């Protein structure tokens, strides 16, 4: 008899892993605390490594039909002036922003083709169920009242503020961050060159970015010092709204003034980065919840997909084959050990990138002044090419075997 799994969190990692296990005949219950897949400002950057993951699953054609914004050009501004406009491929960068609600709905629809798959929405996990030192399920609140879900293995794919990580009592290696991000969406402006262009406006120790979205809007991100949002909100709202708008170049600033209410309602991304020293306990495996990522380099979605492929490789054979609990735990540990090296390297790359762009040290300020020239000439690849390749294609090959 095949083993059973409860996956907490129906983001990309959880949904993909549920799909891969269900198509091998494993009994999978996927729990999602929200009633639908709509979220504010979830990571939607899909890079070649993420596209490759879907291709390996046989879902590449399905993904290609979803709403998206294909990135073809990067503009760099400094002091309100366009300093460089280059094809993204010249920098070794190709990518797209894909509608994550549509992506998750597609994966769930594909998983429903398998009778061993179950998706439960509006389910909030309150605690882990244990039998001795082994996790045997989760206790939840559902729209119909409290309910317990039991399984041979619980998998936590519930992200940066993970309940499974918290209640698993793991030791976490945290990396101090010096920035947070404020996100807004505004109507797509007429002055924007096209829907394939992204903009980075480089300031002193800050970045303002503009990204076309899959729903036809423009997403703006403002980096701010870590923890500064509380102080901002304590000030006169008109003053700090004007301060954020004033960071943008004149054309974008004028557009934001027209839509200043969107700026006032900016959503905070509390940048949390870390990874567990151990990702498993008896009956429990953490996926992306084991390593919250920085937004630098758009790695969250892509690494989550790679986590799911590796976990499926190790777990599907033992779960589908009805192996014992010790074998299931061993497979979970093997999956974690395989993923840890890439995650550690990716986080180090993110740390170095954040230092370069956001630390106002004298050498970094000089580099930022020279950045447009470095981009125009392609010399930027000498400076950060290794990181760009890692962000694009991953650090190690990941092949789906099941």
pLDDT tens over the chain, length 402 residues = 788 999 999 999 999 999 999 999 999 999 999 998 887 556 788 999 999 999 999 999 999 999 989 999 989 898 888 888 888 887 767 788 888 899 999 999 999 999 999 999 999 999 999 999 999 999 999 999 999 999 999 999 998 889 999 999 887 777 788 899 999 999 999 999 999 999 999 887 789 999 999 889 999 999 999 989 888 888 888 889 999 999 999 999 999 999 999 999 999 988 888 889 899 999 999 999 999 998 888 888 999 999 999 999 999 999 999 999 999 999 999 999 999 999 999 999 888 888 777 776 766 667 777 777 777 777 777 777 788 788 888 999 999 999
Provide the 8-state DSSP code for 92.
T
CA 197 from centre of chain: 21
Q: CA-CA distance, 393 to 384, in Å (whole number)? A: 14
Secondary structure class of 100 (helix, strand, coil): helix
Q: 4-68+100-174+274-393: what CATH class?
A: alpha beta
Report the Cα–Cα distance between both ends of the chain, in Å, rounded: 18
399 closest CA partner among 55, 28, 16, 8: 55
User: Is 4-68+100-174+274-393's fold the same as 179-269's?
Assistant: no
Q: Where do the domains of the chain lie?
A: 4-68+100-174+274-393, 179-269
SS3 (DSSP) at 78: strand
Q: What is the pTM of this model?
A: 0.92
- The CATH number of the structural domain formed by 179-269 is 3.30.9.30
């Amino acid at each position: 008899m095949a083993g059973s799994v409860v996956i907490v969190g129906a983001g990309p990692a959880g949904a993909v892993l549920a799909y891969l296990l269900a198509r091998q005949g494993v009994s999978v219950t996927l729990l999602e605390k929200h009633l639908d897949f709509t979220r504010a400002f979830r990571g939607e950057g899909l890079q070649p490594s993420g596209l490759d993951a879907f291709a390996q699953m046989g879902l590449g054609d399905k993904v290609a039909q979803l709403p998206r914004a294909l990135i073809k050009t990067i503009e760099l501004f400094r002091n309100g002036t366009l300093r460089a406009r280059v094809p993204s491929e010249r920098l070794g960068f190709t990518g797209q922003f894909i509608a994550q609600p549509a992506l998750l709905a597609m994966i769930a629809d594909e998983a429903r083709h398998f009778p061993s798959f179950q998706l439960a929405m509006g389910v909030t996990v309150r605690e882990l169920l244990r039998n001795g030192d082994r996790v045997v399920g989760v206790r939840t609140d559902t729209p119909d009242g409290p309910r317990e879900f039991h399984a041979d293995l619980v998998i936590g794919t519930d992200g940066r503020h993970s309940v499974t990580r918290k209640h698993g009592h793991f030791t976490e290696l945290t990396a101090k961050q010096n920035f947070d991000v404020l996100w807004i969406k505004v109507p797509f402006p007429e002055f924007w060159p096209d829907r394939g262009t992204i903009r980075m406006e480089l300031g002193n120790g800050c970045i303002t970015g503009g990204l076309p979205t899959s729903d036809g809007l423009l997403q703006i991100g403002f980096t701010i010092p870590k923890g500064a949002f509380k102080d901002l909100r304590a000030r006169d709202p008109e003053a700090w709204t004007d301060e954020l708008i004033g960071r943008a170049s004149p054309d974008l600033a004028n557009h934001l003034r027209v839509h200043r209410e969107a700026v006032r309602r900016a959503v905070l991304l509390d940048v949390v980065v870390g990874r567990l020293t151990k990702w498993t306990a008896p009956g429990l495996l953490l996926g992306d919840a084991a390593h919250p990522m920085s937004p630098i380099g758009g790695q969250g979605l892509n690494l989550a997909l790679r986590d799911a492929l590796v976990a499926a490789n190790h777990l599907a054979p033992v779960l589908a084959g009805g192996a014992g609990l010790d074998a299931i735990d061993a497979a979970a540990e093997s999956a974690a050990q395989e993923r840890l090296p890439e995650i550690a390297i990716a986080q180090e790359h993110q740390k170095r990138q954040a230092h370069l762009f956001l630390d106002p040290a004298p050498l970094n300020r000089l580099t930022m002044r020279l950045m447009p020239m470095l981009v125009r000439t392609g010399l930027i690849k000498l400076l950060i090419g290794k990181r760009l390749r890692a962000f694009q294609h991953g650090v190690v090959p990941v092949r789906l075997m099941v």
